[in-house]
Structure 1
Amino acid sequence: MKTIIASLLLAASATATYAQKPGDSVTPETLGKLEWVKGEAPREWEPGKVYILECWATWCGPCLAAIPHVDELYDKYSEKGLRVIGVNVWEDGKDKVAEFVTKKGDGMSYPVAYTGKGGAFEKEWLTPAGVKGIPHAFVVKDGKVILATHPMQISNDVIEGLLAGGEAQEKVLTSIKEAEKKQGQIGETMQAFRAAAAKKDTAGMEKAIADLKALDETSRYVPAMNFELLVAKGDWTGVETNVKSLAGDPMGRVMVGLAAQRSVKEPQAPESFRKMISEELSKLLAEKGQPYEFQTLTQVQWSLGDKEAAKISAAKAADSAKELQKTAPRFPVTPFERYAEAVAKGELPTTEQVGEWTREAMEAAKAAEAAGETKKEG
């Protein structure tokens, strides 16, 4: 209903100020309503210049990962006509945004505006455009939105084409459109695979893998999909060969982790396979491992009846969580400590128990953070 109403309002509008989709005419009016952390709002769009309105938030990992790329584009092309505006969205608290931008310094050298939850930018840009996730970039030129995409899709070649205009601009826009269409097809193929896997429809799984290879022959998803197919077929020898063939490959660690998880979830997994996976995962974690990896190893060792080794791995999971929290303060340590305590007592917690502990820890951390903010404001 809201979508219908929004569409009617847009259609009735004398201008397309709030219709922020490719081809729509726009003005910088909304930007003038925002709170500027750095720089100021443009009063008008400069003819021929390319504007990137990059939507982000401090809590969004992918957004933070995209900032260096966006800043690099700005540094390289600002004198040639590129304008970048970082628009902080879906966040309450201008102070934390200002602090973040200050700390970034030259690493975020373009103007940045703050707009709280439910603010003007959300109502007049994000909602009309149907944006439901960030990072997201609107690209404007000569008063029109010419592109809406993930900022990592905006390469040097794209910027050069947009600045050149004419055929060069149309070429890069077509290229991005085709890439996004292909990505959509890949997503549909992955969904088809997951649906087939849920039913253990091996024929459907094989078809989805073939379809994905046709779209992207080098897809990083194929090894994991082949692994799932072999598990569905009960071909544990094939699974073992599949895992070992990726030794030294970046996907190798992922595959060992997947194999370890499946070895304890699939009752038909032979003991010899679980032993192999236990050994492989132990080797990978010998130098350094993530908390969840140690927890998975604990489960495999427990399934083999090696409870002493499981106790050691559970304790390492807790220690790893504490170490990780030093660089990621919000990472919950308590669930891993409780897990290690239970294993030490001779009990293996269920997935449901761990989930509940994690929810409790996250809620406690959120409450503590809110209390700290209130105290700070007071």
Structure 2
Amino acid sequence: NLGEDETTVSAFVRKMGSKMTYRVTVDDEKGTMGKKWLEAAGQNGIPCAFVVNKSGRIAYIGHPMSLEESLLVKLLSEPSTKPAAAVAAPVATAPSEKAEELAARAGTLLRAGKTDEAEKTIAKLHEELGDKFRYIGGLLELDLMLARGETADAPELAKILAEDFAEQAAIGVAAAARLSYAGSPDETMLATAEKLAGPAAQSEGPARCGALSVLARVSFLRGEKDKAVGFQKQAVDCASPAEAAAAKDALSAYQEDKLP
């Protein structure tokens, strides 16, 4: 229990008696649990559940009411006990159709400002996503946080997503873009976006154009127009056919001293 002293918690436990089927503890005087877990994960309220899988990685962050038994089974399932000669199940190359539908619905609800409904939909989405595609729910959690104006915590969640999926540069860039496109990003958000996009911007990978576009936007928001134009010119030069039109439009906007 965070924010409650041992006396208060002990009284609660005595009152619950046999109805209480779970363990509780209290944070230390320094608030270590709150800082190392809640703040680091961009969570500013309780109850909040963290599920650590058998690889030692955080597999879920969210409200405990969203933790259906079926989701826990997926997150904490035992390694396969089939003989080594058995044919391995094919690895999913895309999210399930249901997961895609839930993700699309959550996005629609967020754009409509229906954050409570979006939160419930995202909770259902987490149940449908395998570990490989967990970032989809994570990015939507970041969208939800920004939609609710929880901008103080958003940078930490963006960092967690980028770290957990460090092998996929596009995810860190996507998190950075969300910070830079927030309504009124503060300097902490801009600095985080810049840090997350930086490595991909210096690479030759497919996320480079998006990363350079983030750096351009961050620079423009800081009042550094020439720097923004420079980054966006690089983005245009390395843009894929699918990215080219948007990259050129953004460059034109910066050259006209406008925010795209």
TM-score (norm 2): 0.51
Which of 197, 207, 221 is matched with 1:281 structurally?
A: 197
Per the alignment, residue 236 of structure 1 pairs with: 151
Alpha-carbon distance, 1:183 to partner: 3.2
Judge conservation of contact 1:243–1:255 (CA < 8 Å) in 2.
Answer: no
Paired with 1:225 and 1:237, the residues of 2 have a C-alpha distance of: 17
Per-residue Cα deviation, 1:103-135 (whole angstroms, up to 9, x for no partner)? xxxxxxxxxxxxxxxxxxxxxxxxxxxxxxxxx
2:112 equivalent in structure 1: 199
The separation in 2 between residues aligned to 1:195 and 1:244, in whole angstroms, is 25
Q: How much does 1:303 deviate?
A: 1.0
Is 1:211 paired with 2:124?
Answer: yes
- The equivalent of 2:182 in structure 1 is 266
Deviation of 1:310 (Å): 1.1
In the alignment, the residues of structure 2 paired with residue 184 and residue 272 of structure 1 have an alpha-carbon distance, to the nearest angstrom, of 37
Percent of pairs identical after alignment?
18
> Could you tell me which amino acid in structure 1 is paired with residue 196 of structure 2?
E
SS in 1 for 2:127: helix
The structure where strand makes up a greater share of residues is: 1
Moved more, 182-191 or 199-208: 182-191
Partner of 1:189: 102
Q: Distance in 1 between matches of 2:124 and 2:171?
A: 21
Q: Contact 1:200 / 1:232 at 8 angstroms: preserved in 2?
A: yes
Equivalent position to 1:245, from 153, 156, 160:
160
Cα RMSD, aligned residues only: 3.5
Q: Which amino acid aligns with 1:245?
A: I
Aligned to 2:67: none
Matched, 1:225 2:111: no
Q: 1:274 to 1:331 in 2, by over 3 A?
A: closer
Deviation at 1:336, TM superposition (A): 4.9
Deviation at 1:248, TM superposition (A): 4.1
Matched, 1:308 2:221: no
Tell me how far 1:277 sits from its aligned partner: 1.0
The TM-score with structure 1 as length reference comes to 0.37
The aligned runs of 1:13-92 (5 Å cut-off) are none
Larger radius of gyration: 1
Deviations along 1:323-361, one digit per CA (max 9) or x if unpaired, are x6xxxxx67868756754764x553474xxxxxxxxxxx
The question of whether the paired residues in 1 share the 8 Å contact of 2:161 and 2:175 is answered with: no
Does structure 2 conserve the Cα–Cα contact (< 8 Å) formed by 1:263 and 1:300? no
1:302, CA displacement in angstroms? 0.4
Q: Do 1:275 and 1:304's aligned partners in 2 also have CA atoms closer than 8 Å?
A: no
**Which amino acid is 2:227 matched to?**
A
Question: Per the alignment, in what secondary structure is the counterpart of residue 313 of structure 1?
Answer: helix
Tell me if structure 2 keeps the 8 A contact 1:206–1:229. yes
8 Å CA contact retained: 2:173, 2:211: yes
Q: 8 Å contact 1:318–1:336 — kept in the other structure?
A: yes
- Any idea what the Cα deviations from partners look like across 1:231-257, whole Å, max 9, x if unmatched? 122222322111111344436633443
Q: 2:214 aligns with which of 268, 280, 296?
A: 296
Match in the other structure for 2:26: none
CA distance in structure 1 between the aligned counterparts of 2:129 and 2:245, rounded to whole angstroms? 42
In 1, distance between residues paired with 2:127 and 2:244?
43
Q: Equivalents in 1 of 2:108, 2:243: separation in Å?
A: 32
Q: Which amino acid aligns with 1:235?
A: E
**Per the alignment, in what secondary structure is the counterpart of residue 190 of structure 1?**
helix
Residue of structure 2 in register with 1:38 after alignment: none
Gap runs ≥5 in structure 2: 1-88
- Give the Cα separation in 2 of the matches to 1:333 and 1:264: 20
Distance 1:185 1:290 in 2: 31
Aligned residues: 164
Looking at structure 2, the residues matched to 339 and 191 of structure 1 have their Cα atoms a distance apart, in angstroms, of 26
Task: Please state how far the C-alpha of 1:261 moved relative to its aligned partner.
Answer: 3.1
**CA offset digits 1:284-315 (Å, max 9, x no partner):** 31233533432232122101112232122122
CA gap 1:314/1:276 in 2 versus in 1, 3 angstroms: same
Contact 1:227 1:239 in 2 (8 A): yes
